[in-house]
Amino acid sequence: MESPSSSTRFTLLPTSYLASQPPSSEITLQSLIDTSDRMAEEAREALPYSFDECTYDKGYLRQSVWSCLDCGEKGVCYGCSISCHSEHRLVELWTRRSFRCDCPTSSTQPEPIPPAKRRRCGLYPPDEQPQEPNEKNKYTQNFQGKFCRCGREYDAETETEAMICCIACEDWFHESCLNLRQSPTAAQVIPETTSNTDPAQPVSIPASQTNGAAGDEEDDEELAVLIRSDSYDGLICAECVKGNGFLRSQAGKEGWMIIEPEEDRGEWKVIGRKPNRKVEDEDEYAAGSTKRTKLENGLATPITASDKSTSATEEDIWRWKGKGDIFLANGVRDQLKDQLDEKTVVSLPFPLVDEEIYEPPKDDEQDETIEQVTSRVMTSLPRVQAIEALHGYQKLKDRLNTMLQEHVASGKSVSKEDIEDLFEQLKGRRE
């Protein structure tokens, strides 16, 4: 077995890696190198950006945010989530509009803790902390780790249902909670019902047919929802709709799709689809003859002057039986930019043009060799400590080379016990 060359990548393996191997297993040096490379590649993919910057000084902007459950359920930026809160309980919230990092503020510092013992942001000047709380930040149930109107916690390892983000409040909702499909846990009973394919009428699909079978391909999953994701531009949840008079007046109009129940038939129907659509190929669902329909690519019908002048009385009337979520057809937001007056635009709970998402600089650092890492670390140490560290490193290198040569001569592989014995010997000599 040859010792690793000077060009070998330097990536620390987790201490749990060797411990997880069976005591009698043999581990070759090449397998450790391969594992190191694989973990390094996974880390680069998961953390593509540099995390040596706190975005607090950039003010309120649209950025990726994590809630720290151990720091008052406040939000921190990408850099702080890794550099300052990596050992805390974090909840990924994806992007948030107009949000400022809370890490260097007093809102993440529990008051009962003496000032001298309070944590500090490691990426912000210590003498400028803590900053005052960010009064313009908005904190929803998401910061407690709860999502959707059902209040369920999100676990990426166990969640099987797709979720959709509201473009207004930026909460995430399960497709089943939006009545786009049946709940994955519900019984799947498909009645022999044929949908109305008249383009002038709302399209209905039995609720029991809105849940794809487990293990279906993504395309099949798309066929199982009432409104395909490529036919609408954004979701506005019911709470945001009912809190805005203009949105209430638009619900159910062409391009402002809502999902309504047909209680007598046990079905759900979509109201507000663009009428100029076609029935596509007669692709049948798994166990029924209901044909699927979809919106043709195109813009929704423009809002007229009479639409915009809806009276307050009409706005306050809510005649729908469903939950009231609106699915905006493609192109509606573009039309609103030209057709709404400034006062109405300002009153909308969502932007007509998406803000640019701030992204930290890419982490373009090249992989370092062991010698490069050692040199970099040594230059940061005081002279006496640097000399002692170099002596220790040389002893480790010499002892490792001796062990490897012995194994090469005997034809043995390096085992877990060999590595443990090596470090025990070095530890005994140091003591």
- What pLDDT is attached to residue 119? 77
Output the DSSP codes for 195-263.
----TTS-EEEEGGGSSPPTT--HHHHHHTSSS-GGGEEEEE-HHHHHT-HHHHHHTTSTTEEEEEEET
The string of pLDDT tens digits covering residues 173-194 is 999 999 998 776 653 443 443 3
Q: Are 175 and 163 in contact (CB under 8 A)?
A: yes
Lowest mean pLDDT among 40-49, 73-82, 251-260, 279-288: 279-288
Give dist(CA 327, CA 241) in Å, integer.
Answer: 11
Enter the tokens of residue 140: 């929803």
- Of the two residues 315 and 239, the one the predictor is more confident about is 239
- What pLDDT is attached to residue 42? 62
- What pLDDT is attached to residue 288? 36
Give dist(CA 310, CA 317) in Å, integer.
Answer: 11
Reported as half-sphere exposure (CB side, CA atoms, 13 A), residue 352 has a value of 17
* Residue 6 pLDDT grade (very low, low, confident, very high; cuts 50, 70, 90): very low
- What pLDDT is attached to residue 185? 61
Q: Is the pLDDT of residue 57 over 90?
A: yes
Q: Is the pLDDT of residue 215 over 50?
A: no
Give, as one character, the DSSP assignment of residue 128.
G
- What pLDDT is attached to residue 188? 43
Give, as one character, the DSSP assignment of residue 127.
G
- For the chain, give the percent of residues with pLDDT over 90: 32
Closest by CA position to 108, among listed 92, 129, 128: 129
Give dist(CA 260, CA 270) in Å, integer.
Answer: 6
- Neighbouring CB atoms inside 10 A of 238's CB total 19
Q: Are 85 and 66 in contact (CB under 8 A)?
A: yes
- Of the two residues 280 and 93, the one the predictor is more confident about is 93
Give the angle 266-268-272 at the CA atoms, nearest 5°.
150
* Residue 297 pLDDT grade (very low, low, confident, very high; cuts 50, 70, 90): very low
Give dist(CA 422, CA 63) in Å, integer.
Answer: 47
The string of pLDDT tens digits covering residues 23-42 is 555 666 666 666 666 766 66
Give dist(CA 235, CA 242) in Å, integer.
Answer: 14
- What pLDDT is attached to residue 417? 80
Q: Are 1 and 403 in contact (CB under 8 A)?
A: no
Reported as half-sphere exposure (CB side, CA atoms, 13 A), residue 344 has a value of 18
Contacts by residues 29-33 (CB-CB < 8 Å, ≥ 24 positions apart) = 29/1, 29/3, 29/4, 29/404, 29/414, 30/1, 33/4, 33/8, 33/9
Q: Is the pLDDT of residue 221 over 90?
A: no
Give dist(CA 26, CA 413) in Å, integer.
Answer: 6
The amino acid occupying position 329 is: A
Give dist(CA 12, CA 4) in Å, integer.
Answer: 15
Q: Is the pLDDT of residue 11 over 50?
A: no
Residue with tokens 């998401």: 142
- Neighbouring CB atoms inside 10 A of 53's CB total 19
Strand partners, 166: 235
CA 236, 319, 258, 299 torsion-angle sign: negative
Lowest mean pLDDT among 128-137, 215-224, 299-308: 299-308
* Residue 4 pLDDT grade (very low, low, confident, very high; cuts 50, 70, 90): very low
Q: Residue 393 phi/psi, 5° resolution?
A: -65, -40
* Residue 357 pLDDT grade (very low, low, confident, very high; cuts 50, 70, 90): very high
The string of pLDDT tens digits covering residues 325-349 is 999 999 999 999 989 988 999 999 9
Enter the tokens of residue 372: 């490069």
User: What CA dihedral angle connects 140, 141, 144 and 145, to 10 degrees?
Assistant: -120
Give the angle 194-178-165 at the CA atoms, nearest 5°.
135
Average pLDDT over residues 382-394: 69
- Of the two residues 249 and 294, the one the predictor is more confident about is 249
pTM for the full predicted model: 0.63
Give dist(CA 102, CA 83) in Å, integer.
Answer: 14
Give, as one character, the DSSP assignment of residue 59.
-
The string of pLDDT tens digits covering residues 140-178 is 999 999 999 999 998 878 888 889 999 999 999 999 999
Average pLDDT over residues 258-287: 66
- What pLDDT is attached to residue 234? 93
SS3 state of residue 64: strand
- For the chain, give the percent of residues with pLDDT over 70: 61
Residue with tokens 């009973």: 189
Q: Is the pLDDT of residue 7 over 90?
A: no
Write down the mean pLDDT value for the chain.
74
Average pLDDT over residues 124-137: 92
Q: Which residue blocks in 47-138 are alpha helix, DSSP H?
A: 78-83
Mark residue 145 as left, alpha or beta (left: phi above 0; alpha: psi -120 to 50; beta: remaining).
left
Output the DSSP codes for 271-319.
ES--S--EEEEEEEPTTS-PEEEEPPSSPPPPPPHHHHT--HHHHH---
Closest by CA position to 404, among listed 37, 29, 33: 29
By DSSP bridging, strand 232-236 and strand 291-294 are unpaired
- What pLDDT is attached to residue 393? 73
Q: Residue 405 phi/psi, 5° resolution?
A: -65, -40
